[in-house]
Amino acid sequence: MNFGGTVAYLGVETSLTGRRWVGPGIEVERAAELLVQQTDLPQALCQILARRGVTPQEAEGFLAPALRDLLPDPRSLRDMEPAAARFLAALDRRERIAIFADYDVDGGSSAALLLVWLREMGHRATLYIPDRIDEGYGPNEEAMAALAAEHDLIVCVDCGTLSHGPIAAAVGAEVIVLDHHLAAETLPDALAVVNPNRQDEDGTSAHLCAAAVVFLMLVEVGRQCRVAGRTSPALLDMLDLVALATVADVAPLIGVNRAFVRQGLLVMARRARIGVAALADVARMDAAPAAYHLGFLLGPRINAGGRIGQADLGARLLATDDPHEAAALAERLDALNTDRREMEAVVRAQAMAQAEARGFDAPLVWAAGPGWHPGVVGIVASRLKEAANRPAIVIGVENGIGKGSGRSISGIDLGAPIQRLAAEGLLLKGGGHKMAAGLTVAEDKLEAAMARLGELLKKQGAHLAGPSDLQITGLLMPAAATVELVERVEQAGPFGAAAPAPRYVFSNMAIRFAKRVGETHLKVSFTNGDGTVMEAIAFGAFDTPLGAALENHGGARFHLTGRLDINSWRGRQSVQLLLEDAAAA
């Protein structure tokens, strides 16, 4: 189905922020009308459903996704049954178990799932998370050999699929890999490698993050327990960890992922996990948790330990059952996140200038610099990707070696080309998945590697993405933008990767009030003249021509676009527009 129109929406070729507005194609418009007629759902909601390809018959199930209907059979993944059986046997024999996890939110959440499950079964496991600077990503031979000397079973989570040497070094222990990163043609010699992105998988579960894979293994462990007439922990209570990892790892919010996040947010709202509750408090979360909070408030703080602090802080916070430890860890991660933001700002300014000098119209946007902290290059890559709407790589160089991270855009696979470069010898190592990847490169091969990566991404069409396109969902009138409508629209969520929040246009509006808030923000109220006045806030408006144009409107009328939000103040709820862009009417 063609989801985008070819004619600029409302004729807006260049908005106040320099973007072209692109509305839904004719097929989506027709599908939305059919949904309205056959479901009696609001037009604004039907426009979202049509864009997702939801039919009238599927609408009810889509708006109330049931995990039991969407959860894949864990045994459909290769090596799942032996992995679960070996894990359960280690518990029964009271063996020494080590959890080797990646240092990001997905790794920390994956580790916490196993640690909490084992604790509830009366067993303690060792947590090991490598240091980003000293050890790098994934298992290394020294750490695996040391763990094997003291443990009977090592479970690698969110890593391990490409770790042939380190897993071979784990002499004396058996190894299970629970991962989601792209696999090579040959797998390491582990007892089990459970990974929906193995080359011999059919790809139907390729969108799962590692925590979801771990959750599926625990589902299979629970099934084996029931067959044996035993009880096991309630897994639905652990979906907050799966939701957190899914959003923070930018996994697409489709299929079972969407159900994981919906259910996980409900679990998180109960505040039963003391580590998450403590972190929400230091992050000053004053509303019911939403996908936004996981991605922009909780996730960055959990990541801060692995980025610039102690690698295991996040996993320990998520797994702890000690309120005092939870409070201390949350405060420490919050402070580290502040430090991380300062480091990021410096690197971002330098990287943005360098990338702009190369040009944002190439298939790959990249930057590299000496001393750039490896813990922030991934975040800066995300900023470059957003600015250019192109795959982006940012690399920090130290002693002739560059360590970098990349982020991709929808429809462009970054992980596979990175792996190919490693196979071709242009990278010392590299791997990841479609939307994110990591790499290590010799400084003298940096230019050649980036040129080759650009060639591979161009073959996927990375150079064709319109950096100025702003996707519009549809038109809306201020009188129709009610709290009830926003709540109905939220049923199509949660919104995030591969499921963008709807963006509506309020056409031909008169500005009633405009005032600068702080340094760069703008508060606006507007009307179409029917007596209904709507409030809007434009964050960072004065970083672009948007702020000045609306502040000094001179009575001119504008098309205004953005996302709908419910604003709560002293017990009263009202709808406000999170204003992103405008164009002269």
- Taking the C-alpha atoms of residue 282 and residue 470, their distance in angstroms, rounded to an integer, is 34
Q: Give the model's pLDDT for residue 1.
A: 46
Name residues whose C-beta falls within 8 Å of residue 351's C-beta, 6 or more positions apart in sequence: 367, 369, 372, 380, 383, 384, 394
Q: How many CB atoms lie within 10 A of CB 246?
A: 35
Q: If 0-12 CB within 10 Å is exposed, 13-18 middle and 19+ buried, where does residue 371 land?
A: exposed
Mean pLDDT of 190-202: 97
CA–CA distance, 527 with 151 (Å, rounded to integer)? 67
- In this predicted structure, the answer to whether residue 400 has a pLDDT above a threshold of 50 is yes
Q: Among 291, 272, 225, 237, which Cα is nearest to 113's? A: 237
Burial (CB < 10 A; 0-12, 13-18, 19+), residue 357, is exposed
Beta bridge partners of 21: 470
**How many other C-beta atoms can be found within 10 angstroms of the C-beta atom of residue 167?**
26
Residue entry with tokens 């692995």: 306
Cα 96 off chain centre by = 33
Mean per-residue pLDDT, 418-447: 94
pLDDT value for 2: 46
Whether 530 and 479 have beta carbons less than 8 Å apart is answered as yes
**pLDDT at residue 6 greater than cutoff 70:** no
Distance, in Å, from the CA atom of 364 to the CA atom of 450, rounded to the nearest integer, reads 8
Cβ burial, residue 247 (10 Å; 0-12/13-18/19+): buried
At residue 61, does pLDDT exceed 90?
yes
SS3 (DSSP) at 550:
helix
Whether the CB-CB separation of 303 and 294 falls below 8 Å is answered with: no
Given a cut of 70, whether residue 467 has pLDDT beyond it is: no
Within 8 A by CB and 6+ apart from 368, the residues are 354, 394, 395, 396, 397, 402, 404, 446
Task: Provide the edge-to-edge strand list for the sheet that holds 153-157.
Answer: 126-128, 97-101, 153-157, 174-178, 192-194
Read off the pLDDT of residues 11-46 as tens digits, 9 standing for 90 and up: 999 999 999 999 999 999 999 999 999 999 999 999
Kindly tell me if the per-residue pLDDT of 468 is higher than 90. no
Amino acid found at 539: F
Alpha-carbon distance 332 to 334, whole Å?
A: 5
pLDDT > 70: what percent of the chain? 98
Amino acid at 69: D
Q: Which CATH architecture has domain 70-335?
A: Alpha-Beta Complex (3.90)
Whole-angstrom distance, CA of residue 340 vs CA of residue 331: 14
- pLDDT for position 206: 96
Q: Is residue 404 a contact partner of residue 395, using CB atoms and an 8 Å limit?
A: yes
Exposed/middle/buried for residue 561 (C-beta within 10 Å: 0-12, 13-18, 19+): buried
User: How far apart are the C-alpha atoms of 575 and 566, rounded to whole Å?
Assistant: 5
Question: Does residue 113 have a pLDDT over 80?
Answer: yes
pLDDT for 466 = 67
Model confidence pLDDT, tens digit, residues 474-513: 999 999 999 999 999 999 999 998 899 999 999 999 999 9
pLDDT in tens, 267-311: 999 999 999 999 999 999 988 999 999 999 999 999 999 998 899
Indicate the SS3 state at residue 183.
coil
What is the predicted pLDDT for the residue at 464? 86
- Concatenate the DSSP letters of all residues of 329-367 into one string: HHHHHHHHHHHHHHHHHHHHHHHHHHHHHH-TTSS-EEE
Domain residue extents for the chain: 9-25+472-584, 70-335, 359-464
Residue 4 has a pLDDT of: 58
- Which overall architecture, per CATH, does domain 359-464 show? Roll (3.10)
CA distance 71 to 66: 9
What is the bridge-based pairing of β-strands 504-517 and 521-527?
antiparallel
- Is the distance from CB of 56 to CB of 39 less than 8 angstroms? yes
Nearest to 503 by CA among 31, 30, 19: 19
pLDDT at 5 over 90: no
Question: 3-state class of 49 per DSSP?
Answer: helix
Find out whether the peptide bond into 374 is cis, omega within 30 degrees of 0. no
> How much is the pLDDT for 574?
93
The Cα 500–Cα 555 span in angstroms is 33
User: What pLDDT is stored for residue 314 in this prediction?
Assistant: 97
| Span 454-476, average pLDDT | 89
Mean pLDDT of the chain: 95
What's the rounded mean pLDDT across residues 95-111? 97
Task: Provide the CATH topology of domain 9-25+472-584.
Answer: OB fold (Dihydrolipoamide Acetyltransferase, E2P) (2.40.50)
**Sequential DSSP letters for 370-423:** ET--TTTHHHHHHHHHHHHTS-EEEEEEETTEEEEEEE--TT---HHHHHHHHH
